[in-house]
Structure 1
Amino acid sequence: MNNLLCPKLILICLLLYLCPISARQATSAPQTNPTFFDLGELIFQTIGDNEQIPKGVVTALVQDPQGFIWIGTQFGLIRHDGYRFTPFQHEPNAETTLSGNFVRALWAAKDGKIWIGTFSDGVSVYDPQYNAFKRFEHNRADSTSLSHNTVRSLTGDNQGNVYVATDNGLNHIDTRTSDVTRLTIQGCDTVLQIPRLRSVLLMGKNTLWLGSKTGLCRITLPAFDTAEQADWHQPLTGETQVAFNGQNVFRLFQGANQTIWVGTTDHGAAFFSPGSPEVTRITHRPNDPSSLSHHWVNGIVQPSDKEIWLSTSGGGITVVNASDGTVIRHIRHDPLNPYSINLDSMGAMLVDASGLIWAGTWGNGLNRHNPHNDAFRTFVRRLWHPHSLTHVDVRSFAELSNGEIWVGNAQTGIDVIDPEIGVITSHHPDPADPSKLAEGYARVIRQTYDGSIWVGTANKGLHHFSPKTQRFTRYTRADGLPGYQVVTLQETPTGQLWVGTGEGLALMDISTRQLQPLTSFANHEILQGKSVLTMAYLAPQQLWIGTRNGLFTLDLKEKTITEISTHNGTTDTLSDNYISSLLVDSEARLLVATPMDSTDWSAMTRNLPSSSLWINWWIAPPVPQATCWKTHKGGSGTAMAGWTQTTADLRIWVSPMTGTLAPCGQGHTLSYVTARYYLEAQKVSCYYALNAGYPGLTSPHWS
């Protein structure tokens, strides 16, 4: 059993007293000074596929007391235990099977039974004790049967009463005796003139809200101490809610603050509170992001006291403020974002007992979002958003002194981000213009002490950008660069920028912007042709160089270069000669990341100051078959390690002294990505470059 499916379902029962109602329109106030994290997209996980959920259509969702998620579809009922999908379908010659496959409504009783309303075959009740169904169907010759076989909604009170909304009126089922009563309602003539019912909501013990194709009715149920005392053949008193006359009331929901939320097919959503004469409407206005994304509301849930989620029939999900109805955000399907919802045509939604949000689509399966995992948001290219990334294959980024974030990708160059807006401009390649990037693969970005920005590209050398002139200057082999593939950049306090390329190391004088030869360093020839992957500066005078075939240290004062290897006699404990990442921690220790060795365990090695002894830390599962790709030092001296694997790519090095690793974000993980690069920023503690956009991680979750 998945531990995310908790066994308790809390039902909030509140008694509402209605006053005369007038209408007002919700207005949307944009968020004041949002952070870049707030601009990010929520992360959704796909649950099941179109075989496990036939045709991907989710018509209804409910969680039973054991924690199982029940999924209604057009092709039967499915029970999901967190791992497996168990189907239940109609069998013509078996009376104890589902009465019909088109499931339209679900209600989970406290005794574990699941009540199922079907589109054309009445009601079925699943008893888990016997793994069998019982049927309630319409019979023209029997007035004690259901009044119609089309059931759009049903609910109950766990005291023996189930209320069934059909296409021909409201029915009551006594669960103790299985008696069916066709209820008579007086006082809602407009709403029930055409008694095609669409939704039903039980509020407390004595109030039932009934939505029809033509309006909303408040029904007072009979007062009784026990179910046996009620006489369901007596007419019930109803009161028409005139604000909804002529509207198809498709969904009803009770808010945590004693509000009633109404979803319609043509007039958007609305809510009202007992004792208030006002109805607040949330309507759809084309091309207005401050309005509801679509006029047809298919589902309503409340994940928190502050938010109501409205799923729509063609505009994805609109999240609104639970207090005033203002639009907070729109959640849409984006074909460029693998973490978006699967489709904009949404079906049922559910918030389970653990707080997970389940969102069904009308044709592309089921999504799940974990609101507790608010440490991560994704920033990707979005077709419908003007301030999104121009490409998702992020390879580098840097936070500038003015707060801007430069994001380099593998195709279109660099996007410049204002953390309160998103992408405000981009630097795209133009090989014919020497003041532009020569190519679109921006592999590394660094701002130096003078405010200049340096960009290393994958195949076209080094670029210098002047914020004053807004122009790039190119550096190639003709200027003294040893290779065109610029992999890493490292500034040292002496006003020098070290440039690591695929064919050796170069030195740039930042003030003169001229490349300097390395001939002043003894043994400089040992770095010629070496593919430099990473660099780290260890004060006061050491520059460490990691390459594909060795580790080297430069003494900037003595002008010497030393190879760290068994062959050179400088160490016999370095775990591997392929150095993928270097990091100097807060205690002036060098951390060295190397690839997976033959035992399929990853190694990180630290060097004690003034010593040639290297201590290897072997990282056992849960990081199996992984390569340590990148390290980063966070606040408080915390070290981070990125791993190329398919689960939990990010780890925090809690104790660099002992080598202890812990999952990043208090158990939050990123799946099916490679974490290539990290940046500790001012307002979002860390950004991670991935192969599909990049997420931000908020500081409370990793420090």
Structure 2
Amino acid sequence: MITKKFTLFVLGFVTILTTLYSGPRDFSMLVYNADRDFNGVFIYTIIQDEDGFLWVGGDDGLYRFDGKQMLNLNAKDSAINNLVTASVVSSDGHLFMGYYEGGISIVEHGRYRKIVSKEDLPNKVNRLRSHGEKTIWGLTQNKGLIRVQEDSVTHFSHSIFDQLISYDFMVYQDFIYVATNEGFLELKVEGDQLTSLGFLESTKGLQINSIFQDDHVKNLVWLGTNDGLYSHFLESRDIKPVEGFPAHVQVSSIAKDDLNTLWVGTKNHGLVEVDLNGIEVTAITFFNKQNGFESNQVGEVYVDHENEIWVGTFGRGLVQLNRAYFHHYELYKPLAVQGIHSIANYREDELILATEQGLVHAYHKAMRDSLIFEPLKYTQDYSFTSILVDGEVVWAGTRDGVIKVNLLQKTIERIGLAPKDVMEHHLIREIVKDNDGNLWISAAGNGVYHIKPSGELINLYNTRLGFYHNEIFAIFPDQAGNVWFGSHATGLALLPKGGEMQFLSKDEIFPAFDINTITQSADGNIWITTEGSGIYRFDGENFKQFTAKDGLLSNYCNAAVVDDIGQIWVGHRLGISLIQPGYDLIRTFHHPGELGETEAELNSVCKDRHGNIFFGNPYGVTKVNLPHFNFKIAKRHTHIKDLRLFYNATDLLKYSGKAKLDDILPSDLTFPYDENHITFDFVSINLRNPEAIYYQYMLVGFDKGWSPVEKSNYATYTNLDPGTYTFRVRESDHEALWDDEYTAITFRVNYPYWEMWWFYLLQIAAITLIVWLTYFLSGRLQNQFAIRLMVYISVFIAFEYVHTELEPYLTTVSGETPIFQVAVNLVLALCLLPIEIRLTHYLKLRAQAVEAKKELSATNQVEA
């Protein structure tokens, strides 16, 4: 009997787990089911080929997904309705599949060919792996291993397999490691012989369900078991449980992305995200039904080429887990904090926020991926405007001077300059550190102070001492040791290292006068945001301006930061702009649903060690997730998937001289003249965001240039004239960015038989025969009406033939004007009558001459 005390304990434990493993997500979820043309419920295998197509195998056969269409290939399968349980892409790009009932097939351009029949291998294939040049290994559940080398099949059986259930395996040099229900089995391959070396001692009796060989750390293998997640180095004989990963979780599948994150599918707890620093776990997050995930039973996890996560569930279909582009952390309601005026990095993976109500510490709790925001209560009496974090010390500008906060000791020290506290009770706009470790501090109404960390004044810059303004909003020491200053009303100034102050706006070198922020990209370019004039780039010689006319969201730019690949992120009052200098492109983001609070605070921006960017807002923080990964422009290849006739799918091999496909489509397509209504289906594969792709196409031989930019991935041409055509299509991530690369297919529409050369000769021969018969019979017929009729028919046919051949050219000249056609017909009719009269007269005289000759011949014979 379950006691009340035990029930409360369980509920408490679940509550702790929910608190520990839940929280804000930087992911969105998309479920593929019958509403999206996908009927697979139990998913066993997911793989992506070299072209980018995603292949999903499960209880409804095999599907190919291109981001837009989920295509079921069962109709072309030699094993229809056979459940697909394993798949792999070989080194030469072919897809191999294994089945629940046994057997292995190869998929060649959408068509199946058996490699091993289920009669020869009547046992479930649990895993396929590619190893070396054109070598595929397959693991059966109870009947050992299969090796396929260029259609040569070798079956490696061993008595030990009959006693085990084999779930997964890996090939390493001449060794094969098999995950079984009794432990981690080691085998050695020598030629066609397989030798068992026994179980790894530390795994005996442990059910191992999955293996993942780490591609970041040499010889590291991750093992998924019925008792949690383990790590194992191949040169050692021990396995170690992953710290923080619950032992009661049954692991079914393991994958890893390029961000050093393990994705672990489980049989009973959904999907688990394991963030790593090297091989040390820094955070664990559960995606399960408790926090909105589709299912707790995961069969397969796969990370595609773009680092997107695909989860095959047992019973709920396919789930696509997308990294969100943005994440907004609301701080006003939960913490009563507003006005995030400055953000700075702290330690390795933490942030310090400067707010109206003191400092806020942002960090990750152990085994949790979402940020925790903790107000530092001992700073709540200060309204912060700018901060500089130096180790455990925060140099902080407030509305009432400068203070120094020791985060470890939780102490506050007011900073003044001896012998007179000139900064006391002044609003501090900016605090930065230069390359020498000294500080530059802007005090409203008092210019700029250059001091040592000890507080000793190095220099003072204000109007009384010849400086150009006392209200400096931006200070930036660049990579070369120069210091840039920006003010409102008087613009930009520069203090070169070892040189004299230059007033760039005053001297009309820089055209803007209201400067908000200054930053620098890795290539040395200086970026200057302004209040009303957009943003400027200085390359060492010239200033280039970017404004709303160039695509910027607004000319009022409050903050700017450079991401890890040199893209410039600009914060505005109503959103964010992204400048991609390598392509001279600008993208904008201003939808509150994706950004949350959209008003970026002046100078409130920073980038963490992962490359994420944080913009401070009046009511919280907007995070730009991995901008160097999520927003980079990718070069993709466009695939022409199919050609449809009259909108209907057809077997294109009927229009080809080839027995099988060399590519997705035949390369020698020829269509009859009356099958000239052709639709081209094409796609550039972006599994994460297929709607972000733009297309242009043209049909060489029909179109004069590229089509308008559009997002639809098909093109239809009707009533194509006979001839040879080449269809070209190209894609882009941005409607203004196009290059000369395209995908093309050439085909031919045949001429109708009446336009073929042999039919022209046949017509001419027929007309010639009629004329010759008329000429031949005219000398033998006595009936002049018959002769005249034959002549008329012959001449009419000849004239009608000439008229028919000339009509297209006459129509081009006349523009199909009826009166012109009538005039042409009248001219032909007028020509027909005199020619017929003359020919009839000639043939009549010829007939008389022939008759006279006959009579003369008869007379001569009588006389003789």
Structure 2: 5+ residue runs without aligned partners?
1-24, 288-292, 416-421, 457-461, 496-502, 587-593, 616-620, 629-864
Q: Secondary structure at the match of 1:50?
A: strand
Query: What is residue 125 of structure 1 aligned with on the other side?
Result: 105
1:152 equivalent in alignment to 2:126: yes
For 2:339 and 2:252, how far apart are their aligned partners in 1?
35
Change in Cα spacing, 1:677 to 1:350, as seen in structure 2 (3 Å) is: same
Q: For 2:158, which of 185, 188, 194 is the aligned residue?
A: 185
**1:396, distance to aligned residue in structure 2 (A):** 2.0
Aligned-partner residue type, residue 158 of structure 2: I
CA contact (8 A) 1:201 1:252 kept: yes
For 1:308 and 1:452, how far apart are their aligned partners in 2?
32
Query: What is residue 225 of structure 2 aligned with on the other side?
Result: 264
For 1:211 and 1:677, how far apart are their aligned partners in 2?
51
For 1:590 and 1:223, how far apart are their aligned partners in 2?
63
For 1:463 and 1:521, how far apart are their aligned partners in 2?
22
Query: What is residue 352 of structure 2 aligned with on the other side?
Result: 407
CA contact (8 A) 2:357 2:380 kept: no
**1:122, distance to aligned residue in structure 2 (A):** 5.4
For 1:494 and 1:184, how far apart are their aligned partners in 2?
72
Query: What is residue 96 of structure 2 aligned with on the other side?
Result: 115
Query: What is residue 373 of structure 1 aligned with on the other side?
Result: none
Q: For 1:603, which of 510, 515, 536 is the aligned residue?
A: 536
For 1:494 and 1:308, how far apart are their aligned partners in 2?
39
Q: Secondary structure at the match of 1:625?
A: coil
Query: What is residue 643 of structure 1 aligned with on the other side?
Result: 570
Q: For 1:283, which of 228, 236, 241 is the aligned residue?
A: 241
Query: What is residue 10 of structure 1 aligned with on the other side?
Result: none
Query: What is residue 411 of structure 2 aligned with on the other side?
Result: 470
For 1:575 and 1:151, how far apart are their aligned partners in 2?
70
1:456 equivalent in alignment to 2:398: yes
- Which aligned pairs between 1:272-351 and structure 2 lie closer than 5 A? 273=234, 279-283=237-241, 288-289=243-244, 295-299=249-253, 311=264, 313=266, 314=269, 316-318=272-274, 327-333=279-285, 348=300
Query: What is residue 248 of structure 1 aligned with on the other side?
Result: 207
Query: What is residue 717 of structure 2 aligned with on the other side?
Result: none
**1:280, distance to aligned residue in structure 2 (A):** 1.1
Change in Cα spacing, 1:602 to 1:147, as seen in structure 2 (3 Å) is: same
CA contact (8 A) 1:596 1:602 kept: no
CA contact (8 A) 1:198 1:251 kept: yes
- Which aligned pairs between 1:649-688 and structure 2 lie closer than 5 A? 676-677=603-604
**1:415, distance to aligned residue in structure 2 (A):** 4.4
CA contact (8 A) 2:96 2:107 kept: no
Change in Cα spacing, 1:62 to 1:472, as seen in structure 2 (3 Å) is: same
Deviations 1:375-430, CA, capped at 9 Å, x for gaps: xxx99999xxxxxx999996424689x999972255874246999x99xx998376
**1:283, distance to aligned residue in structure 2 (A):** 1.9
CA contact (8 A) 1:350 1:359 kept: yes
**1:239, distance to aligned residue in structure 2 (A):** 5.7
Structure with greater Cα Rg: 2
Q: Secondary structure at the match of 1:211?
A: strand
Change in Cα spacing, 1:624 to 1:50, as seen in structure 2 (3 Å) is: farther
For 2:230 and 2:433, how far apart are their aligned partners in 1?
56
Query: What is residue 437 of structure 1 aligned with on the other side?
Result: 380
Change in Cα spacing, 1:312 to 1:53, as seen in structure 2 (3 Å) is: farther
Query: What is residue 618 of structure 1 aligned with on the other side?
Result: 545
Aligned-partner residue type, residue 408 of structure 1: L
Aligned-partner residue type, residue 428 of structure 1: P
For 2:264 and 2:438, how far apart are their aligned partners in 1?
58
1:499 equivalent in alignment to 2:443: yes
CA contact (8 A) 1:351 1:358 kept: yes
Structure of higher RCO (CA pairs closer than 8 Å, 6+ residues apart): 1
Deviations 1:262-283, CA, capped at 9 Å, x for gaps: 432226435464xx7x631122
For 1:292 and 1:633, how far apart are their aligned partners in 2?
39
**1:252, distance to aligned residue in structure 2 (A):** 3.6
1:212 equivalent in alignment to 2:164: no
For 2:402 and 2:252, how far apart are their aligned partners in 1?
52
Q: Secondary structure at the match of 1:105?
A: strand
**1:444, distance to aligned residue in structure 2 (A):** 1.4
Aligned-partner residue type, residue 281 of structure 1: I
Structure 1: 5+ residue runs without aligned partners?
1-43, 139-143, 225-229, 231-235, 336-340, 370-377, 383-388, 475-479, 513-517, 556-562, 609-614, 653-659, 664-670, 699-703
Q: For 2:86, which of 92, 95, 105 is the aligned residue?
A: 105
CA contact (8 A) 1:47 1:365 kept: no
Deviations 1:41-98, CA, capped at 9 Å, x for gaps: xxx99799435897999854445455655455777656567xx45533365xx25388
**1:197, distance to aligned residue in structure 2 (A):** 3.2
**1:107, distance to aligned residue in structure 2 (A):** 1.4
Q: TM-score, normalised by structure 2?
A: 0.43
**1:596, distance to aligned residue in structure 2 (A):** 6.9
For 1:73 and 1:392, how far apart are their aligned partners in 2?
51
For 1:203 and 1:606, how far apart are their aligned partners in 2?
51
For 2:303 and 2:349, how far apart are their aligned partners in 1?
37
For 2:526 and 2:135, how far apart are their aligned partners in 1?
69
**1:106, distance to aligned residue in structure 2 (A):** 1.6
Query: What is residue 40 of structure 1 aligned with on the other side?
Result: none
For 2:255 and 2:518, how far apart are their aligned partners in 1?
47
For 1:358 and 1:581, how far apart are their aligned partners in 2?
35
Query: What is residue 396 of structure 1 aligned with on the other side?
Result: 342
For 2:294 and 2:507, how far apart are their aligned partners in 1?
53
For 1:577 and 1:483, how far apart are their aligned partners in 2?
28
CA contact (8 A) 1:64 1:114 kept: yes
**1:198, distance to aligned residue in structure 2 (A):** 1.4
Aligned-partner residue type, residue 87 of structure 1: M
Q: Secondary structure at the match of 2:398?
A: strand
CA contact (8 A) 1:187 1:237 kept: no
**1:368, distance to aligned residue in structure 2 (A):** 8.9
CA contact (8 A) 2:486 2:514 kept: no
Q: Secondary structure at the match of 1:332?
A: strand
1:581 equivalent in alignment to 2:517: yes
For 1:491 and 1:112, how far apart are their aligned partners in 2?
53
Q: Secondary structure at the match of 1:112?
A: coil
CA contact (8 A) 1:407 1:416 kept: yes
Query: What is residue 487 of structure 2 aligned with on the other side?
Result: 546
For 1:131 and 1:407, how far apart are their aligned partners in 2?
58
For 2:322 and 2:112, how far apart are their aligned partners in 1?
29
Change in Cα spacing, 1:488 to 1:641, as seen in structure 2 (3 Å) is: farther
Q: For 2:140, which of 147, 165, 169 is the aligned residue?
A: 165
CA contact (8 A) 1:317 1:330 kept: no
**1:485, distance to aligned residue in structure 2 (A):** 8.8
For 1:223 and 1:404, how far apart are their aligned partners in 2?
51
**1:146, distance to aligned residue in structure 2 (A):** 4.5
CA contact (8 A) 2:213 2:219 kept: yes
Aligned-partner residue type, residue 470 of structure 1: T
CA contact (8 A) 2:492 2:515 kept: no
CA contact (8 A) 1:678 1:686 kept: no
For 2:190 and 2:349, how far apart are their aligned partners in 1?
64
Q: Secondary structure at the match of 1:280?
A: coil
Q: Secondary structure at the match of 1:408?
A: strand
**1:593, distance to aligned residue in structure 2 (A):** 3.0
**1:361, distance to aligned residue in structure 2 (A):** 4.2
Q: Percent identity?
A: 11
For 1:185 and 1:680, how far apart are their aligned partners in 2?
56
CA contact (8 A) 1:297 1:310 kept: no
